[in-house]
Amino acid sequence: MNRNCCFRGFVVQISTTSERRVMAKLDWNDIKVFLALFRGRSVRSAAGELGMSHSTVSRHLTDLETSLGAVLFTRSRDGLLATSMAEQIFNKAEQVETEVLDLQREAASLDSVLSGQVRVTSPPLLSQHMIMPHLAAFAQQYPGIEISLHSSYSIDDLIKGASDVALRSQFNPNDNLVGRRLPDFVDRAYASPGYLSDHWFDGNQTNAAWIGRGVADPQNKWVTNGPFPDAEVRHQIPDMLDQAQAAAAGLGMVSLPCFFADGMEGLVRVPNTGPVSTRPVWVLTHPDLRTSVRIKTFVRFLVAAIARQEKEITGETI
């Protein structure tokens, strides 16, 4: 039958002649002693390798055998002989050893690695209205890291090595980059209360006009998929921040991300309309930086912080 043993979160399945199944929580020090005994085949050898006394090694072995309910070694003229139980658990114990040592090495390197600079590039709307508090919180938690922020829409700054981390809205990120996907960002229709009261809305028909996006989308393809596909497009304003100000001033309707527009004074959602568009957003890094503890720590922190704002991003807060 099978016996299951848990090595501090690692489950080892052991075949035995017993019909019982036991879950035993084992101490890492016991596992270290077991590995040293298995490799050296003597208490003296294990004690020398681990810097322990003979009695301490023997005590850990006794504790381990008690936890497992089985004998792991027998004594002979040639030293300790591993039992079939010991043979079966040796490979799993080595896997535990590898994981623990990797964790110890990474933890030991944090103090020396978590310093220096992280160069971040982000669209202006995200940097100014979403991630700035997260950058401040990260800097407070990791005072040895200096943040350099550059507002940009281009991915070239990351590919060419001018930035370490980029926030980008892309359906298909560059295959040469490593990415963590954020919650999909939702855009809805907004206008000023006064503009809405001065125009009529009947289903998907209206005499209100959209504010155009200029060179950012010269053909206005987003209009046909929106709530008013036949609405006129007037004026051309490429920058989102300018679009928001123009709509608040009564220039027309505008499609903006919920996380930003829902909290902006002077703007309200156009009634009885759903999402205009949904866009995937990624936190991207260059593959050469995937082993950098500093960059990995920053990316994990930022992704987790933004994920907690999912309801704001998708517009579910209203």
CATH code for the domain in which residue 269 is found: 3.40.190.10
Question: Measured between alpha carbons, how far is residue 209 from residues 226, 242, 271 in Å?
Answer: 12, 16, 15
pLDDT single digits (tens) 242-285 = 999 999 999 999 999 999 999 999 999 999 999 998 989 999 98
- The token duo for 84 is 């079939």
| Statement to judge: residues 153 and 295 lie in one domain | yes
Alpha-helical regions (H) of the chain: 28-40, 43-50, 54-68, 84-113, 124-126, 132-141, 156-159, 193-197, 221-224, 240-248, 258-261, 293-307, 310-314
pLDDT band with cut points at 50, 70 and 90 for residue 21: very low
| Statement to judge: residues 295 and 269 lie in one domain | no
In the chain, the number of structural domains is: 3
Question: Side chain identity at 20, as an amino acid letter?
Answer: R
| Statement to judge: residues 240 and 141 lie in one domain | no
**CATH number of domain containing 104:** 1.10.10.10
| Statement to judge: residues 165 and 35 lie in one domain | no
| Statement to judge: residues 212 and 242 lie in one domain | yes
By the 8 A CB rule, do 207 and 213 touch? no
How many angstroms separate the CA atoms of 16 and 20, rounded? 9
By the 8 A CB rule, do 313 and 297 touch? no
pLDDT of residue 214: 79
| Statement to judge: residues 94 and 73 lie in one domain | yes
- Indicate the burial class of 228 (C-beta count within 10 angstroms; 0-12, 13-18, 19 or more): buried
Query: For strand 116-122 and strand 268-269, is the pairing parallel, antiparallel, or unpaired?
Result: unpaired
Look up the pTM and report it.
Answer: 0.61
**Highest-confidence segment of 43-52, 177-186, 215-224:** 177-186
- Domain boundary, last residue among 109, 135, 159: 109
- Domain boundary, last residue among 50, 77, 109: 109
Helix (H, G, I), strand (E, B) or coil at 180: strand
| Statement to judge: residues 291 and 303 lie in one domain | yes
Question: Measured between alpha carbons, how far is residue 85 from residues 2, 61, 73, 78, 113 in Å?
Answer: 12, 14, 9, 19, 42
Check residue 272 and give left, alpha or beta (phi > 0: left; psi -120 to 50: alpha).
left
pLDDT band with cut points at 50, 70 and 90 for residue 9: very low
| Statement to judge: residues 10 and 102 lie in one domain | yes
- The token duo for 200 is 């009529």
Question: Measured between alpha carbons, how far is residue 122 from residues 39, 187, 197, 306 in Å?
Answer: 53, 18, 36, 13
Helices 43-50/54-68 angle, 10° precision: 110
By the 8 A CB rule, do 4 and 68 touch? no
How many angstroms separate the CA atoms of 17 and 2, rounded? 8
Mean pLDDT value of segment 12-33? 55
| Statement to judge: residues 267 and 285 lie in one domain | no
Mean pLDDT value of segment 61-86? 86
- Domain boundary, last residue among 47, 80, 109: 109
Residue linked to tokens 């987790």: 304
Domain that holds residue 165: 114-184+280-314
| Statement to judge: residues 55 and 13 lie in one domain | yes
- Rounded to 5 degrees, φ, ψ at 248 are -65, -30
Res 215 pLDDT > 90: no
| Statement to judge: residues 23 and 155 lie in one domain | no
| Statement to judge: residues 160 and 307 lie in one domain | yes
